[in-house]
A and B are shown apart, each in its own frame.
Chain A
Amino acid sequence: MTMFNKTLFIHLIKTNLKIFLIIAGSLSLLIGIVMSIFTPETMHEIAKTNMDAPVNPLGDITTLISFVANQYFGNFALIFGIIYSIIIGNKLIADQVDKGSMAYHLSTPITRTQYTFTSAIYFVSSLLLMFGLVFVVGYGVAEFVQPGELPVKEFFALTLGSLLLHLTFSGITFLASCLFNRSSNSLALGAGLSVFFYATNMLSGMSDSLEFLKNVTIITFFDSNAIIQNESYGGQLILLVGLTVVLYFIGITIFKRKDLPL
């Protein structure tokens, strides 16, 4: 018995295409803009005007790669990715149980595990494709507009790290979705936890007294500074992978055993 169901997979691609295109499109567009606008001259000018500013709210943006690390992956991609995971995570399982359309799926010859496993594969591969697009578009535009200015290895590591972080977010929303029979509860846990991690990450960067908050957010595992400064970051990313696998596994196991109000 294979756990993957191709027909269902195609169905999931079709039904989630719109939201995928919106998020992936926005992320690709943004990385394209960043790569085409922030040429060495622009960076120099920004640095000059910001010389007197006491704290730079944007973080270190003196080089293209640090801007990409702090602003793009640390902000835009983070928000868009979290929104994607919240919507899709809830939609894949809990929303279908809540609305009753899960009965429509489960009254065909398919096991619950086939359903959840295929959904998980869809979720993971859609994020993979999304960040693959970001890398290709970012690299392509940078090479076209300002050849040689983008350190490709670091950009790749950043994209990969960001992908792994978002896979963990998807694991959280997926687990919440498998756990609850109501959209509202699934969102409360999945979105609630995601927003909490995002907020604590932001606050931790604002002042020294709030820096301890770094210890409560998973976003810390995606250490963009370590990546661009070539420090060690592999261990943390492996931790994210492990966490993701565990979250998906628990979700699938719970859904297999629970009563469904269909």
Chain B
Amino acid sequence: MTAIKIQHLTKDYGNNKGIFDISFQIEEGEVFGFVGPNGAGKTTTIRHLMGFIKSQSGKSTILNLDSWNQSKEIQKHLGYLPAEIAFPANMTGTQIIQHVANMRGVRDMTIAQQLIEMFDLDPSALIKRMSKGMKQKVGIVCAFMHDPQILILDEPTTGLDPLMQSVFVKLIHQEKQKGKSILMSSHLFEEIEGTCDRIAMIKQGRLISVMNSQDFKHFDKTTYKITFGDLQNFHAIQKEGFTFRDIHEEDLSIMLDIEDLQINELIDALSKRDVTSIREIKYSLEEYFMNFYKEGNHDHV
């Protein structure tokens, strides 16, 4: 059965805001990455799936249930982690988790307990005293504790420290092995790269492309920032046949894009020169995506 199906979903907020004719579907057992800049329409799409807003045209279904009319039925099989997590004030994390369990009719708290341990969470504090990361962990426990068939995770690792982000990636892998269908929006490349089967890019409310992550991983290009000890070396390197992205004379640094195949050439060239520092510049996910997209993959459109 198709886990999530979105057909020509449109919600026009005016001023080019909103989402326009979005269509994609997520199969059972598939992990689907949803990326795009802020305000692109990721959350608006997710709101439709949650039944919080009604589309102007098109429709979305989860497990063949209409997401506007049958949200109650859908929620039984769904775990949701919102982008901006907010809990009722004046409750402790433990109370919040227990209340969700009661609402869902979950009696067995084994999974909740496992998650609490996995994320090293102390839920006994009041929610309003908690840091962003702690609230996020409480949200994760609430979204996963009933072992739902489908997970919708809106920027799930915001607020988590790098260690916890990797714990989260591990959790996604576990769920994937159990055959869960997951829709995950994200800004972080590492999060998406290792986990998603397919990735959709949305920009200005329109779906730009959907691609398999295998294709995506073949993009082996890195940007380095290299600083030189003196002006002579700085000028000499520019005569070599590299693609320079940026040249800063003030601090004698250059930025260059390099394919993995070219890496030995670069090391060779640098070995003869006085280099003070070399640093890899991380692409933002969007940049990665846009670059990849530019490199002749127009057939995806």
Contacts and interface: CB of A to CB of B under 8 A. Distances in A.
B103 A262 contact: no
B52 A108 contact: no
A15 interface: yes
A46 interface: no
Contacts of A259: 52-54
Interface string A91-117: 000001001110111111111001000
B75 A110 contact: yes
Interface string A238-262: 0000000000000000000101111
B90 interface: yes
Contact of A110 (B54, B78, B103): B103
Nearest to A6: B102
B72 A109 contact: yes
Contacts of A114: 72
A107 B75 contact: yes
Interface residues of B, number: 31
B87 interface: yes
Given A107-B50, A109-B72, A259-B52, A101 B103 contact: no
B121 interface: no
Contact of B104 (A101, A104, A106, A108): A108
B52 A103 contact: yes
A8 B103 contact: yes
A11 B104 contact: no
A5 B87 CA distance: 19
Interface string A43-81: 000000000000000000000000000000000000000
Contacts of B71: 106, 111
Contacts of B51: 106
B86 A108 contact: no
A232 interface: no
A257 B54 CA distance: 8
Nearest to B96: A104
Contact of B103 (A103, A109, A260): A109
Interface string B81-102: 0101111111100001001101
B81 to A, nearest CB: 9
Interface centre among A103, A107, A261 (most CB of B within 10 A): A107
Interface of B: 47, 50-54, 71-73, 75-76, 78, 80, 82, 84-91, 96, 99-100, 102-105, 142-143
Q: List 7 A-B pairs, minimum CB-CB distance, nearest first.
A: A100-B86, A108-B103, A259-B53, A107-B80, A109-B75, A260-B52, A101-B86
26 contacts: A5-B103, A7-B99, A7-B102, A7-B103, A15-B91, A99-B89, A100-B82, A101-B89, A103-B52, A103-B80, A103-B86, A104-B87, A104-B96, A104-B100, A106-B71, A108-B75, A110-B103, A111-B72, A114-B72, A257-B54, A259-B54, A260-B52, A261-B53, A262-B47, A262-B52, A262-B82
Interface of A: 5, 7-8, 11, 15, 96, 99-101, 103-111, 114, 257, 259-262
